[in-house]
């Protein structure tokens, strides 16, 4: 018996990194998972490599209507959705006085607006199902787990856009929890610290990604800052994606049915921000 037997989940940004590890953990615990990535080929490859029942929705989630299409794809594939993990995102760093409006807005779009739109798209079916279940005297829990960051909780120099967006996720989480608790929809967030992904690899490796608007963005952080970050983590090292996905599994499982409106810090004991 798995913790998520019979459940169906959407995990955005699930072809790589924390999202991929989460999808693999969910499948291992009995769930069916919709795999999502901006790149269709990457999403299809990930789905093919995961040993379990999966479906794929690829494309730019910041486009108008994309969140509704994502939820429809999951409902069409699995019949219903029980869990949603809003994980998709990237970083586009810069100091505040040199940051363009586009650079700032891009982080709000993917990290704050997309989770709102996905939650809104899930709301009609989830609320109606909950009303019927309540009339029958049943309690059926559904789950939203939003991914925030210590940058959002504490601020982080060079990430004014990302920090603002990730703090927005906290407000979104706590407000939805107040509105939707009556429907047994648990809404929580995880705030990650330093996790080993392509977003935190050494910038000197030279990896880039192309934003939905066509901008080339360098991924990673300078090696010197990586070393500084590790030095201020009480656990002495960054987390692996698998270690990061464990708390997401917990919040998505029946073990967390009475955990609601919370932000779980997953930082190895580091709370001061990656670069302070």
Structural contact between residues 84 and 114, judged by C-beta atoms closer than 8 angstroms: no
Q: Report angle CA 179, 183, 189 to the nearest 5 degrees.
A: 60
| Residue of 90, 162, 258, 275 marked active site | 162
Looking at the chain, the number of H-run helices and the number of E-run strands are 9, 9
Is 162 among the residues known to form the active site?
Answer: yes
Please return the burial class of 118, using the count of CB atoms within 10 Å of its CB with bins 0-12, 13-18 and 19+.
buried
Cβ contact 38:109 at 8 Å: no
Structure tokens at 260: 């609601």
**Phi/psi of residue 148, nearest 5 degrees:** -110, -155
Helix (H, G, I), strand (E, B) or coil at 192: strand
Closest CA to 119 of 59, 186, 60: 186
- Asked if 18 and 195 touch (Cβ cutoff 8 Å), the reply is yes
Q: Looking at the annotation, which residues are catalytic?
A: 162
């Amino acid at each position: 018996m798995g913790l998520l037997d019979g459940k169906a989940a959407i995990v955005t940004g699930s072809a790589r990194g924390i999202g991929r590890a989460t999808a693999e953990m969910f499948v291992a615990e009995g769930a069916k998972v919709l795999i999502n990535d901006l790149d269709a080929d990457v999403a299809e490859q990930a789905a093919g490599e995961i040993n379990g029942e999966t479906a794929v929705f690829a494309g730019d989630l910041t486009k108008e209507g994309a969140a509704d299409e994502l939820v429809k794809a999951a409902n069409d594939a699995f019949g219903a959705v029980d869990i949603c993990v809003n994980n998709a995102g990237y970083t586009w760093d810069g100091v505040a006085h040199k940051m363009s409006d586009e650079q700032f807005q891009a982080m709000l779009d993917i990290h704050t607006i997309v989770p709102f739109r996905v939650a809104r798209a899930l709301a009609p079916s989830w609320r109606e199902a909950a009303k019927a279940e309540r009339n029958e005297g049943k309690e059926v829990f559904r789950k939203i787990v939003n991914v925030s960051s210590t940058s959002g909780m504490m601020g982080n120099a060079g990430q004014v856009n990302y920090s603002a967006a990730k703090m927005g996720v906290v407000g979104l989480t706590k407000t939805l929890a107040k509105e939707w608790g009556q429907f047994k929809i648990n809404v929580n967030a995880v705030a990650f610290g330093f996790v080993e992904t392509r977003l935190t690899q050494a910038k000197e490796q030279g990896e880039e990604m192309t934003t939905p608007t066509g901008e080339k963005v360098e991924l990673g952080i300078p090696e010197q800052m990586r070393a500084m970050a590790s030095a201020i983590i009480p656990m002495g090292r960054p987390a692996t994606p698998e270690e990061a996905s464990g708390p997401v599994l917990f919040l998505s499982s029946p073990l967390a049915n009475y955990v609601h409106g919370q932000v779980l810090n997953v930082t190895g004991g580091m709370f001061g921000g990656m670069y302070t």
